[in-house]
Structure 1
C-alpha cells in the first residue's frame, strides 16, 4: 500500500492511496478458495470446483467484496499510521481501478480540533433554588379538593340559578336557523362561573329556575377551533332540568384515599416530592444553560466545516417546516429577513452547538467518563414513568429495539459530563421564588431564539497543546 498526503490545511487532511494489484489478486484468490469448500455446482464435488469455473461464476461478486474490504482496511490503516482523530467518516472516492491493475482512491478526513480546555474551577455559577413552601402544598391540596367536589340536588322549585351552582340543562345550538354538529346536549351538568362554555353563555342562565326555557344568544370567538363556527352568531335553546349545589370536598384522609394515598400526610409528602422534582429540573435547566455559556465563552478553536454545515442544514430544515406549516410561530423580526440573512444567523447557532459538542466530548474522553448499564436502566425507567399504565410496553420496546437505547446515550453522556464539570466549578445556591425561577427561564428561552452575536466576534485561538496533554499537566 502506498499513501501520499496531498493536502494538510486547517482540520482537513487528504491522501492518495494505492493498493497494489497483487494484493487485491491475492485476496480474491484466497476468498474464492474459501467459498469453494462449501459452494455446490452441478457436476462438481464440494471443494473440487476448478478455480477458473469459480472465478467465472463468482469473480465479480468476490471482487466487489474484496475491493470494499481493501478500501476499509487501507483507510483505517492510513488513519492509524498518521495518528488521525476524524470527527466523521472519511470521504472516499475511487479514482482508478481495472481488473489486474492497482486500486487508487482519494481520502479526505476532517479532524477533531486540538485545543486547550479552560480551567473549570474558574467558572462561577449561581444556582437558583426554590424551596417547597407549605402554602404551595395547601394550594395543591385545594386544587385536588376542587377537582373532587360533589354536588347535591336543590329540592326547592323556587331556587334560581346563581354563580357557583351546577345547572343541569338540555340544549340545542343553531347558526342562521340551522343546527350544527356537536351543538346538542342532554342532562349536561354546567357549573355556572366555570367559563367552560362560550363567553356569555353561562351568565344568561343566571336567575332561571327548573323547567325554565331560554334562547341563549352568543357569538363564537374568532379563533374558535371549528372554522365553520368561528366568529358566527349562534342561538342555543336551553331548558333547565335541575339545579345542584356544589359540596366542597374536605381536605382529610378520605380525600387522600380517594386519590390513591394512604393518608393526608402521605398525600402532602407526595406533593412536596413532586414539586421538588419540578423545581430541581428547572434549577438544573437554568444552571446548565449558564454553564454552557461559560464553556462557549471559554473555548475558541477552528470548527470542522462538515459538522457546522450539517447542523445548519438541520436547523434550516426545521425552520422551513415551521415556515410552511406554522408560520405564526415565526418571530416577527425574522419575517422581513432574507434567507441569506437568516442562514447567517443560524450558522452562528450551529457553530455554538458544534463547539459545545466538541468540548463536552473531549472532557468526557480525557476524563474517561463512561456510561454504565445502571445509567441506561435509569433512563429507561424515566421513559417508562412518562406513560403510566404502559410501563411494561415501554420496557419491551427498549428490550426489542437496541437502536432506541442507543438514542438515549448521547443525552445521558452529556448530562454526565455536565455533572463532572459542575463538581469542579464554583457553584453558589441562591434561594428564589418559583415565579423568579420561571421568569429567569422564560427570559433565557426568549434570548435563545436569537443567535448570540458575540459568537461571530469570537477569535480563533492557536492550538498550543492537545487537550489531553493539558489535562495531564493539570493533574
Structure 2
C-alpha cells in the first residue's frame, strides 16, 4: 500500500492512497475463509462450502466490507503516523469512474482514493502563573435578607373574598375568564377560564390589569390592549386586541405576620431559621455570580494569550449554530437587525468572531485538560445526571433512561464538568486577588457576556 501526501494547506491535509489488487485479494481471501465457517447453505455441510461458490454468492459484498475496513485502518494509521489531532472526520473520495470502481470490486484493479483531513493546530500554552485576576465578592446585607423574607411573605399572603358589591383594587386577586379578539376574530391562546390574576402584579399584557381596577364580581368588561413589539408570539406582536373579561370573584389580601408561625408553615422551626436559610441561598447566588465573573475574566485572558487560526470547519459549524439561534430569537420577537442597530452583514461578522473565540477557547481548554490529565469520571457524570433528573419530580426514571440511551446527551453533561475542572486547575496556578463590591456591581451585566465560551 502506498500513501502519499498531496496537499498541505493551512490545517488541511490530503493524502492519495493506492492499494494493490493483490493486497485486496489477500484481505478478501481471509474474509472468505472466515465466512466459510459461518454461513449455512443448503446442500453443503458447515465449513465445507467451496470458496468459489462463496465468491459467487458474496464476493461483491465481502469486497465492499474489506474495502471499508481497509479505509478505516488506513485513515487511523495516517493520523497516528503523523501525530494529527483531527478537527473533523476524514473525508474519503473513492473513484468516480464506474468502470474503474467495478474493476476494484472484482479484484482486477488497484484501489486508488483520496482522504482529506482537517487538523487541530499545535497549541503552545501560556504560563498560567503569570495570569492575574480579580475575584469580586459581595456581602449579603441584613436588609436584603429582610426584603427577601418580606417578598416571600407577600407571595404566601392569604386572600379572602370581598363584599359582594366591593370594587377591585390594586393588590386584590381576581378570578377571571376572557375571550380575546383581533379585528373581531378570536385568536389562538386568547381564551381562558377561571384564571387567577393579582392586580398590579404585571403578569398580563401591559394595561390589562389597570383596566380591571374598580371591577366587581359578576361584572364583564372590555379590555383593550396592544401586544408589545417584542411579544414572544410573532403573529400577535404589535397588534391591538379586545378582551371580553368576566370577573368571577374578587379577593382582598390578608396580613402576614413575620413570626415563627409563618416560618413553620414553610417547614422551618423559627423565623430565625427561615432568615438563615434565605441568607444561605443568597450567599450561594452571590458566589455563583462571583464565579461566573471570575471565569469570564479568565477566558478573556486565555483568549488574549492564545491567538491562532482554529480549524475553519469547526468555526463554521459553531457559527451556524450561533446564527440559527440569533435569527430564531429575532423572529420570535418580531424584530430585525435594524431594530438592534446593525445590519445582517455586520451581525454575521460579529458572530463569526464569537464563533472563532469559542472554538479557540474550547481547543485551549481541551489541550490544558489533556496535558494535565484532567478527567471527568463516570461517577461524576452520573451524579450530575441524577441532579438533573431531580428537577423533574415524578419523571426521574424517564430522565435517567433518556441519558442512558443518548450518548450525545451524556456528552453534553460531561463537557461542562470538564470545563469547570480545567478552570479550577488554572485558577490554582493564577494569582487571584479578592475585592468586596456592592451587590449592584457584582450583578452588573458585562458587555462581553455573550462572547464567553
- In the superposition, the TM-score normalised over structure 2's length comes to 0.82
Which residue of 2 is the match for residue 84 of structure 1?
84
Q: Does 1:301 align with 2:308?
A: yes
- Displacement, 1:234? 6.4
Q: Is the 8 A contact 1:164 1:245 kept in 2?
A: no
Question: Which residue of 2 is the match for residue 357 of structure 1?
Answer: 362
Q: Kindly report which structure 2 residues correspond to 1:407-446, keeping only aligned pairs within 5 A, or say none.
A: 407-439=412-444, 441-445=445-449
**Does 2:294 match 1:284?**
no
Deviation string for 1:423-468 (max 9, x for gaps)?
11111222223322222x354337x49xxxxxxxxxxxxxxxxxxx
Please show how residues 53-452 of structure 1 align to structure 2 within 5 Å.
53-95=53-95, 97=101, 98=104, 99-152=107-160, 161=167, 163=169, 166=172, 198-205=208-215, 218-223=223-228, 231-232=240-241, 246-328=253-335, 330=337, 332-333=339-340, 336-338=343-345, 341-439=346-444, 441-445=445-449, 448=451
Tell me if 1:28 matches 2:35.
no
Conserved? CA contact 1:204–1:216, under 8 Å: no
Q: Which moved more, 1:66-75 or 1:320-329?
A: 320-329
Q: Which moved more, 1:139-148 or 1:261-270?
A: 261-270
Tell whether the 8 Å contact from 1:164 to 1:246 is kept in structure 2 after alignment. Answer: no
8 Å CA contact 1:121, 1:425 repeated in 2: yes
Secondary structure at the residue paired with 1:220? strand
Segment drifting more, 416-425 vs 327-336: 327-336
After superposition, the Cα gap between the structure-2 partners of 1:184 and 1:47, relative to the gap in structure 1 and judged at 3 Å, is closer
Task: Tell me: CA distance 1:364–1:7, structure 2 relative to 1, closer, same or farther (3 Å).
Answer: same
- 1:138-178: per-residue Cα shift (whole Å, max 9, x none)? 222212211222245678x9x965846748788888989x9
Moved more, 228-237 or 421-430: 228-237
Say if 2:237 and 2:333, in contact at 8 Å, map to a contact too. Answer: no
Note the C-alpha offset of 1:287.
1.4
For residues 194 and 403 of structure 1, do their structure 2 counterparts lie closer, same or farther at Cα, with a shift above 3 Å needed?
A: closer
Cα RMSD for the two superposed structures: 3.7
Report the Cα offset of residue 67 of structure 1.
Answer: 0.2
Distance 1:82 1:168 in 2: 73
CA contact (8 A) 1:172 1:179 kept: no
Structure 1's unaligned 5+ residue stretches are 450-475
Secondary structure of 2:17's partner?
A: strand
Contact 1:129 / 1:432 at 8 angstroms: preserved in 2? yes
Counterparts in 2 of 1:236 and 1:411: CA distance versus 1, 3 Å:
closer
Give the conservation status (yes or no) of the 8 Å contact 2:403–2:410. yes
What is the CA distance between 1:308 and its match in structure 2? 2.1
* Aligned-pair CA distance for 1:384: 2.5
Supply the distance in 2 between the matched residues of 1:200 and 1:110 (Cα, whole angstroms). Answer: 61
Deviation at 1:394, TM superposition (A): 2.7
Bigger shift: residues 299-308 or 29-38: 299-308
Where 1:127 maps in the other structure, the secondary structure is: strand
Once structures 1 and 2 are overlaid, which stretch shifts more, 167-176 or 344-353?
167-176
- Deviation for aligned residue 1:407: 2.3
Give, in angstroms, the shift of residue 292 of structure 1: 0.9
Deviating more after overlay: 110-119 vs 254-263: 254-263
Distance, in Å, in 1 between the alignment partners of 2:303 and 2:145 is 39
Structure 2 residues not aligned, in runs of 5+: none
Q: Deviations over 1:307-344 (max 9, x none)?
A: 22222333333344445554417463565344xx4433
Structure 1 residues 350 and 402, CA gap change in structure 2 (3 angstroms) = closer
Number of the residue aligned with 2:51: 51
Q: Higher mean Cα deviation, 221-230 or 296-305?
A: 221-230
Q: Is the 8 A contact 1:193 1:202 kept in 2?
A: no
2-structure distance, mates of 1:231, 1:417: 52
CA distance in 2, matches of 1:172, 1:83: 68
